[in-house]
A and B are shown apart, each in its own frame.
Chain A
């Protein structure tokens, strides 16, 4: 299947700092990528849809100024958690697919963010 690479795998940061997470499609181009957040023992919650060359679409309740998404190329989307706080600590996962959006999504390995 298609390969989606996510970096870093885990990050620890101080409260108030910003953290950038990268999501790359390694063997295909993706005009659309998706960012999810997952708290312990819970399901994946869609945060936003990242669109190459245009603004991201955020789900209700997700602060666009706090979770900055940039999709500058067909193989790279980044999520920046700005002014991170302990409540932002979570597992962040990106996904993409080489075909029709929302079908057979392939996921990155996830990024565990811990904010102290």
Chain B
């Protein structure tokens, strides 16, 4: 069936460096994508979204890139901080929200 997956299960970065979290999706009909951050024992927190008619969208310290040709989505976090440590999920929205497998981001000093 359709699925949304991530390339890296764990990403370790040094504080201050930039982080890039990747996601592959398989449903070419998906037209809306979201990145969520989930801290341990909490519900997902909305980070940023992007529609399929866009290639890039920027927020505060975060940028989402969408490559529809290869069905790839990425989340870039600038100047990664300890508070960014969490599990990050990409999700695609059609008639329901489908989550990817998640990537754990670990930030070390």
Chain B stretch 63-102: residues in CB contact (< 8 A) with chain A: 89, 93-102
How many A residues touch B, CB cutoff 8 Å?
23
Instruction: Please list the residues of chain B having a beta carbon within 8 angstroms of any beta carbon in chain A.
Output: 32, 34, 36, 41-46, 49, 89, 93-102
State the CA gap A107–B93 with chains docked (Å): 15
Can you list 12 residue pairs at the A/B interface with Cβ under 8 Å? A43-B89, A44-B44, A91-B41, A93-B44, A95-B43, A102-B97, A103-B49, A103-B93, A104-B49, A106-B46, A109-B43, A112-B41
A31 part of interface (Cβ distance < 8 Å): no
State the CA gap A110–B38 with chains docked (Å): 11
State the CA gap A44–B45 with chains docked (Å): 13
Residue of B nearest to A2 (CB): B46
A74: chain B residues at CB < 8 Å are none
A6: chain B residues at CB < 8 Å are 43
Contact call B94/A102, Cβ cutoff below 8 A: yes
Contact call B45/A107, Cβ cutoff below 8 A: yes
User: A44 is contacted by which of B42, B46, B89, B94 (Cβ under 8 Å)?
Assistant: B89
B44: chain A residues at CB < 8 Å are 44, 93, 107
State the CA gap A93–B89 with chains docked (Å): 15
Contact call A102/B95, Cβ cutoff below 8 A: yes
